Structure 1
Amino acid sequence: MAKLVGIDLGTTFSAIAYLNEKGKPGVIEFDNGKKTMPSVVAFDGEEIVIGETAQRSEYAASAIRRIKRKMGTDHSAELNGRKYSPEEISAFVLKEIKNRAEEAIGEKIKDVVITVPAYFNDNQRQATKNAGKIAGLNVLRIINEPTAASLAYGIKEDDDINVAVYDLGGGTFDVSVLNVADGIFEVISTAGDNQLGGEDFTRRIQDVITKKFTDETGIELSTDPLAMSKLYDAVETAKIELSAKNSARVKVPFITADEKGTHDIDFELTRGEFEKLISDYIERTIELTKQAVSDGKLGIDEIDRVILVGGSSRIPLVHKRVQELFGKSPDCTLNPEEVVAMGAAIQAGIVQGDLSGIVLVDVTPMSLGIEVENGYFVPIIERNTPIPTSAKRIFTTVADNQKSVDITIFQGESMYVENNITLGKFRLEGVRHAPKGDPRIEVTFELDVNGILNVRAMDLDSESAQGITIVNDSRLTDEQLQKLKEHHLKNYNEEIRKRKHLTTVLKQKTKAESIAAKIENSIPPAYRDSLIREEIAELLRSVEEAVVEIDVRKIEEAIDGLEFIYTELKAGNYQSSEKIA
């Protein structure tokens, strides 16, 4: 019988775990004695090499690292003259780790649970699932890494407890807040940054050393892939040493040469200097942690337990800042590089019915919704909603006798669609011919346990319907990802506040336009040359301004003005200033 496993598909390292005969998770040790495998792919002639071999300096020019950061984008990597998608590169990693595990345990592997960062969007989750399929695996479930870690810790307290999982890996950061009671693990909020991790710390040190070397020798190392690869590895080693020592040396002999001879790098870095270099990154994780606790409607003092996950959580500054934030020492008793894979194996056992008494309730990390007029984003499923879930909202048309409507699906927190992630688009035909604002278009979102989205739209009058399953066709460029990240950091709180009023404003706009149409049809012949139309136009301009500003009071005042004109016209009492000849 094929073995059920959980795979932590990491940015820098990956691990695979399974349940033993007693139902306990264990990370599989490979024939080389290691329990993790580098997530690196390279070419050796016509042969693809993966893992430790691909890390060797001779493959520096072709090695593909950190492909996880590109999942769900249109990025492609070139190997031996052929372009590969991030899914294909990840599939090489998944297939290799599967093969190693099969050799180690002597059993075939088919069904898997794969973990992803909690803040992965729908495109990235679908891309991860596709990578599993390409690797020949049956992906039972996609679950969030912090959630998996909480399962591995096996929290069994009788009382309800709130747990914060701080997960700082090689390439991503996530934090999740869970409530655990009676075997039910309920994620109540999550936050994170898919472009922040230990490799950023390594790069920052590398940049400092490279600049110093260039200043001293006049040689630009950044244009030499082999030299940069050697330096990166040396910096990574020193960074790890600094978790246990107060200083470390970055030594790379014969890193390059010029007419004066060979050059070495010998750079001493203290823990204090390292902490100064990365302090802004660590503070970013602390702010995201505060956000997750706040989103969970909890206070910092209501967190009963804190768990550290990910290799970069070993950094003393991380431990110190997390402890200062929560006022309690974080739990890191399990190996932070293995705990996610262990939790994934537990989830595999739950899905297949091999484990009982545990229920996992996860959440969606970002809001899901559609575009409405003026380029606004209206959420249908809000962020941190437990999954699986479904939700529906009623929309309408924006033009008279509109025959079709375009449904464009986005994911994100900005009230403007241009700042969110496009997931897909479809057209609903056969809309009932009627004045704008009259048809009722019901849009339904269904999000499954893997975070995969299905969307359906139906005209409730004509019963015409159309739908789409998001299959990762719309991908983001690296530049778009960076733009979204920067916008989110700068405008998140203000836009969340405004977005709460958006639906009200849009409904009121439709109401204002409907009243204006009634007024137009009610103007008696005697008033054709009056200033009524100019007054209506001025009020409608005010309505448009209110929509742009998301100003509820302003649009209500404009509606009051339109209703006054309509009421007076109907009563025959309306007096308007006559035009001067």
Structure 2
Amino acid sequence: MPVRTKQTVGIDLGTTNTVVARNFEALSLDSGGFVMPSAVAFPPSGATLVGQPARRRRAMDPKNTILSAKRVIGARWHSSYTTQFREHYPYDMRESSNGGIEIQTRAGIISPVEVGGTIVGGLCQRTKCPVRDVHAVVTAPVGFDQRRRDATSLAVAKAQFASVRVVEEPIATALAYLNRSSLKYAFVYDLGGGTFDAAVVDCSGYPFRVIGHGGDPYLGGDDVDRTIALYVADRTLARDGWDLSNDAVTFDRLVNACELAKCELSESEQAAIAIPSVDPAAPESCGIIPITRDEVRQLTLDLVRSTFGICDEVLAQASLK
């Protein structure tokens, strides 16, 4: 009787994007590309949108377009993670019965675990990733406690995989990049959409071990966008006397516009943010706010420098500095 090979896939359920891979190769989406935005939206039609269609609704319907749920998956209501999330995002939120966080949408109450499960389920559909009799390995930040690891596992399990195993992100990185190498140590610098993580991995034996780690749960691409948005809001207030930061929904639209400008600046030296498209109530004098690549570089310099300090601490933990 032939031996049945165990099928396994790897999932990166990210703050900003999510991807699934098999045999070290990412599975492609039916729409092209390999990464799907970690977004879920609930439009008035009653449908549930996942990925890019959901992300497109951020500017028009921010309270019903859930982004960055990984930041609070498994987190307690009174934790610093949740406090900052409530300050940064325009959702209607409350404490759940298990002491976590839940979000009120037009489709009803949804938890970060349910958001994660919807994202993974949508990703599997769009990549035609099989789930029956397939085992999943999902990555989680090394700083996640057991409650948050369990919540991540539960989110992936909602896609009906045969089993789910949680692996620390630096370990997964080391396995992916060093499977053909023989290095004794690996330093992982992971500046993602929502968090920054750094770790030293001992690769001298198997299983690999994290021997030093650190990070910042609110230092990532989302925070770069927010920094740019605060700068643009200050300029608009000083130039035109119009405050874009005193309304959560308007400010979230501004953050979205600044993210698009940031992406444009990766290829151009200058971009423009149209204030009337962010806030239709703004006076005509607001017009356009130009922003350059050099301005963004200066605005984010302190954020980037702070990662270097964390790296020094991690190296010291591992006795490698």
TM-score, structure 1 as length reference: 0.46
Cα distance in 1 between the residues matched to 2:302 and 2:118: 34
Alignment-derived partner of residue 18 in structure 1: 22
Match of 2:113 among 70, 83, 87: 87
Name the amino acid aligned to 2:317.
D
3-state SS in 1 of match to 2:154: helix
Deviations 1:398-421 (A, max 9, x none): xxxxxxxxxxxxxxxxxxxxxxxx
Indicate how the Cα distance of structure 1 residues 108 and 259 shifts in structure 2: closer, same or farther if over 3 A, else same: closer
Alignment partner of 1:288 out of 307, 310, 314: 310
Once the two structures are superposed, residues 264-314 of structure 1 have per-residue CA deviations (whole angstroms, 9 ceiling, x without a partner) of 33322232x323322222222111111111111222xxxxxxxxxxxxxxx
Q: Structure 2 vs 1, CA of residues 262 and 92 (structure 1 numbering), >3 Å: closer, same or farther? A: farther
Q: How many residues align?
A: 288
Residue 257 (structure 1) shift: 3.8
2:60 maps to what in 1?
Answer: 58
Please state if 1:48 is matched with 2:45: no
CA shift in 2, pair 1:223/1:92, >3 Å: farther
Counterparts of 1:114 and 1:143, CA distance in 2: 6
1:18 aligned partner, one-letter code: R
Q: Name the structure 1 match of 2:88.
A: none
C-alpha change, 1:132 and 1:275, in structure 2 (3 Å) is same
Shift of 1:243: 4.2
CA distance in 2 between counterparts of 1:265 and 1:123 reads 46
Compared with structure 1, are the counterparts of its residues 184 and 89 closer, same or farther at alpha carbon in structure 2 (3 Å cutoff)? closer
Gaps in structure 1 of 5+ consecutive residues: 20-24, 300-581
1:110-150 CA-partner distances (Å, limit 9, x unpaired): 42111111211222111111212333334431111122111
The match for 2:155 is 131
Structure 1 pair 216–253 and aligned structure 2 pair: CA distance change class (3 A) = closer
Matched residues in 1 for 2:283 and 2:216: separation? 45
CA distance in 2, matches of 1:220, 1:182: 57
Q: What does residue 249 of structure 1 align with?
A: 271
Q: 1:148 maps to what in 2?
A: 172
Q: Which whole-Å CA distance do the structure 1 matches of 2:318 and 2:285 have between them? A: 57
Which residue of 1 is the match for residue 261 of structure 2? 238
Cα separation, 2, equivalents of 1:10 and 1:289: 21
Q: Which of 192, 200, 217 is residue 223 of structure 2 equivalent to?
A: 200
Q: Is the 8 A contact 2:276 2:284 kept in 1?
A: no
1:181 shift after superposition: 3.4
1 CA distance for matches of 2:107 and 2:123?
25
1: CA distance, partners of 2:249 / 2:264: 23
Quick one: structure 1 residues 198 and 190, their matched pair in 2 at CA, closer, same or farther if it must change by over 3 Å?
same
Judged with a 3 Å threshold, the aligned counterparts in structure 2 of structure 1 residues 267 and 186 are, in CA distance, closer, same or farther, namely: same
For the aligned residue pairs, the C-alpha RMSD in angstroms reads: 2.6
Q: 1:259 to 1:38 in 2, by over 3 A?
A: closer
Please tell me whether the aligned partners of residues 265 and 271 of structure 2 are also in contact (alpha carbons under 8 angstroms): no
Alpha-carbon distance in structure 2 between the residues aligned to 1:258 and 1:167 = 40
Percent identical residues: 29
> What residue is the counterpart of 1:118 in the other structure?
142
Q: Does structure 2 conserve the Cα–Cα contact (< 8 Å) formed by 1:132 and 1:139?
A: no
CA shift at 1:53, angstroms?
A: 1.0
1:186 to 191, 209, 216: 209
Q: Distance in 2 between matches of 1:184 and 1:3?
A: 20
1:310-389 superposed matches below 5 A: none
Contact 1:6 1:17 (C-alpha < 8 Å) held by counterparts:
yes
Q: Does the 8 Å CA contact 1:209/1:267 hold for their aligned counterparts? A: no
The alpha carbon displacement at 1:184 in A equals 5.5
User: Is contact 1:164–1:178 with CA below 8 Å preserved after alignment?
Assistant: yes
Q: 1:211 aligns with which of 230, 234, 248?
A: 234
2: CA distance, partners of 1:258 / 1:200: 26
Distance 1:70 1:139 in 2: 23
Letter in 1 for 2:40: V
Matched, 1:278 2:300: yes
Asked if structure 2 preserves the Cα contact closer than 8 Å seen for 1:115 and 1:148, the reply is yes
Whether the 8 Å contact between 1:178 and 1:185 is mirrored in structure 2 is: yes
Superimposed CA distance per residue, residues 187-221 of structure 1 (whole angstroms, 9 cap, x where no aligned partner): 32222222221111110001110121133333332
SS of residue matched to 2:60: helix
The Cα offsets for residues 147-206 of structure 1, whole Å up to 9 and x where unpaired, read as 211111135445x53210101101011111123237663332222222221111110001
Specify the SS of the correspondent of 1:87.
helix
Q: Is the 8 A contact 1:257 1:263 kept in 2?
A: no
- 1:43-71 Cα offsets, whole Å, 9 max, x none, are 02322111111122333331111111111
Contact residue 40 and residue 55 of structure 1 kept, 8 A: yes
In the alignment, residue 133 of structure 1 is paired with which amino acid?
A
2:42–2:107 Cα contact (<8 Å) kept? no
Q: Which amino acid aligns with 2:54?
A: A
Flag the structure with larger Rg. 1
Give, in angstroms, the shift of residue 80 of structure 1: 1.3
1:226 CA drift (Å):
6.1
The amino acid across from 1:278 in the alignment is: T
Q: CA deviation at 1:259?
A: 8.5
Runs of 5+ consecutive residues of structure 2 not aligned to the other structure: 76-99
